[in-house]
Amino acid sequence: MLAEAERRARANGRGDVVDYLVLRATNDLARKTAIQWLFDEFSMRAAQCNRSGSSIQISHVDDHRFRAGSNTMVGTLLTLKTGVRSLMVEAGWPRVPRDGIVKGGGLAQGHIRHFGRKSLDHELMLTRLGNGTPSWVVIDKNGERKPLGLGLVHSHVAAFLRE
């Protein structure tokens, strides 16, 4: 549908619409790639732990809807589960105007949630760095942002496995 809309906009000389559609396609690709990276890193870490004797079950849910403040994000949910413990990673972006916006000018939002251990939870935002590269940041309770690195991914999985 977007390709057809872009074709019609070009044919009708609507450069503004063409620019919007190109930007949207670029942002959607960045979102999908960054979300896939996020889930791949958590899944790979869980798989490494399983090879070392853990018994983590991994599941994905697509078209997952979740709240980010007063806005609704649509994306994917990754759940790691062992015994009664669960680690849930969700990421997405608003798809229609009634869903709202990504606050703070980000491309996507997400959460890392530990079932029953709220103090370990983190809010995520996908932003563009100064050079335009999409990057996940963790937003702390004071609103401060820091890059999401592999060390934090590993520490979340380690905390999930600790009793």
Task: Identify the three-state secondary structure at position 101.
Answer: coil
Least confident piece of the model among 5-9, 44-48, 114-118, 132-136: 5-9
pLDDT at 3 over 90: no
Task: Identify the three-state secondary structure at position 79.
Answer: strand
Share of the chain above pLDDT 90, in %: 70
Average pLDDT over residues 127-147: 88
Confidence of residue 160 (pLDDT cuts 50, 70, 90): very high
Give per-residue pLDDT as tens, 15-26.
Answer: 777 777 777 788
User: What value does the CA radius of gyration of the chain take, rounded to a whole number of Å?
Assistant: 18
Confidence of residue 141 (pLDDT cuts 50, 70, 90): confident
- Name the token pair of 42: 């958590």
pLDDT at 76 over 90: yes
Integer Cα distance of 31 and 8 in angstroms: 25
Among candidate residues 62, 61, 70, the one with its CA nearest the CA of residue 99: 70
Integer Cα distance of 50 and 117 in angstroms: 22
What pLDDT, on the 0 to 100 scale, is given for residue 46? Answer: 96
Integer Cα distance of 50 and 126 in angstroms: 29
What pLDDT, on the 0 to 100 scale, is given for residue 8? Answer: 79
Average pLDDT over residues 65-84: 95
- The answer to whether 61 and 81 are in contact (CB under 8 A) is no
pLDDT at 5 over 80: no
- The answer to whether 86 and 115 are in contact (CB under 8 A) is yes
Integer Cα distance of 124 and 73 in angstroms: 12
Instruction: List all residues 6 or more positions away from 148 whose beta carbon is below 8 Å from its beta carbon.
Output: 38, 124, 135, 136, 137, 138
Average pLDDT over all residues of the chain: 90
pLDDT at 2 over 70: no
